[in-house]
Amino acid sequence: MTGKASTKNDNRSVGTVPMRWHGDSLELLDQRLLPGEEHWITVEGAAGVAQCIRDMVVRGAPAIGITAAYGVALAARHCGSEDWQATIRRDMELLAASRPTAVNLFWALERMGQVLSACQSLHQARETLANEAVTIHREDVEANRRMADYALEVIGADKPVGVLTHCNTGALATGGYGTALGVIRRLHEEKCLRRVYADETRPWLQGGRLTAWELAQEGIPVTLNTDGAAATLMASGKVGWVIVGADRITANGDVANKIGTYSLAVLARHHGVRFMVAAPSSTVDMALQNGADIPIEEREAEELREFRGIQIAPPKVDVFNPVFDVTPASLIDAIVTERGAVHNPNITGMRSLFA
């Protein structure tokens, strides 16, 4: 375990923030259309927010949690004065049912639920729930920046390193900075980044559409590769670290993240490449013993049979489409959070930070 970050409460976002809060409405950047089109959707109620999360308008574990918190604030804004506590809690159930794997969603709803329980009136609930959502949003950016400092210590970046990443873990997946991509941003700032290799990340192409877009906008050197090219890249010696985010981390240090992460960890161990998971403490679920307990979302077969309405497989072929997998703790060199880093994670190391 290490822990000595220099950045204090820095909540400046970088890159394109995925949500904008206006007090009585929420705007979400429709990430399904990126990078071709920057289209903002105005959402006015919790049901609409839940639908946007389910449909991947907004995605990425921390961004889902923050968006759900704003969804609860909207629920208070739009409910009538009768039975307001029960009405808001029903809306919270809708939000909780949107996606199952990222624990940040349930963490944020739990926090909003505690604030709601302490409210004496609807007027108070409207104000305090909105404030809490804004706080959750702000704290996420602070946490991202602090974990990037810790990650730099772990990497011990004294000379530029090549990094392979998976999915999108940047500003678009968080409150506006990034977990794994935040670490990569910091490496670039410190002139310790040789190049980022971005897995395109089938089937939603978060790597190609979002990560490559975010990095290119900031002039961070990025090369896009198919997911299948990862082994060849590692064998070439161009990659020193694989750095990924997480959707849920259990008490023993197992990590659920975008499907394909587990394969990267196996490949990294084979090739002597280091493997880091960067995530805020809101992604840690100490209530679950190990990764086998994590609910893994499976999505529609059409996501593999079609691409943007074009058929790319036989229309009735059986499909296996889990969208997350679990990387065992034994394949991870370090889990880095805003509280510090756990090296060679196991239950003891995890408890020392998240008891």
Which positions are catalytic?
247
Helices (H), 156-276: 180-189, 212-217, 230-235, 261-271
The strand ranges marked E within 217-288 are 222-225, 241-244, 248-250, 255-258, 274-278, 284-285
Nearer to ligand MRU by Cβ, of 60 and 340: the residue is 60
Q: How far is the CB of 116 from ligand MRU (least distance, A)?
A: 26
Q: How far apart are CA 177 and CA 82, in angstroms?
A: 40
Residues of this chain that interact with ligand MRU (CB under 6 A) are 59-62, 102, 167, 169, 173-174, 179, 206, 245-247, 257-258, 323
Helix (H) or strand (E) segment spanning residue 67: helix 61-78
Q: What's the min distance (Å) between Cβ of 288 and ligand MRU?
A: 17
Closest CB to ligand MRU among 124 and 354? 354
Q: Are 247 and 285 in contact (CB under 8 A)?
A: no
Sign of torsion over alpha carbons 208, 210, 211, 217: positive
Q: How far is the CB of 24 from ligand MRU (least distance, A)?
A: 27
Give the angle 121-126-128 at the CA atoms, nearest 5°: 90
Range 39-75 burial, b when 16+ CB lie within 10 A, else e? eeeebebbbbbbebbeebbbbbbbbbbbbbbbbbbbb
> Based on CB atoms, which residue is closest to ligand MRU, 130 or 331?
331
Query: Which residue number, 323 or 342, has a Cβ lying nearer to ligand MRU?
Result: 323
Provide the minimum distance between the beta carbon of 31 and ligand MRU in the complex, in angstroms, as a whole number.
8
Of 87 and 144, the one with the shorter C-beta distance to ligand MRU is 144
CB of 210 to ligand MRU, least distance (A): 8
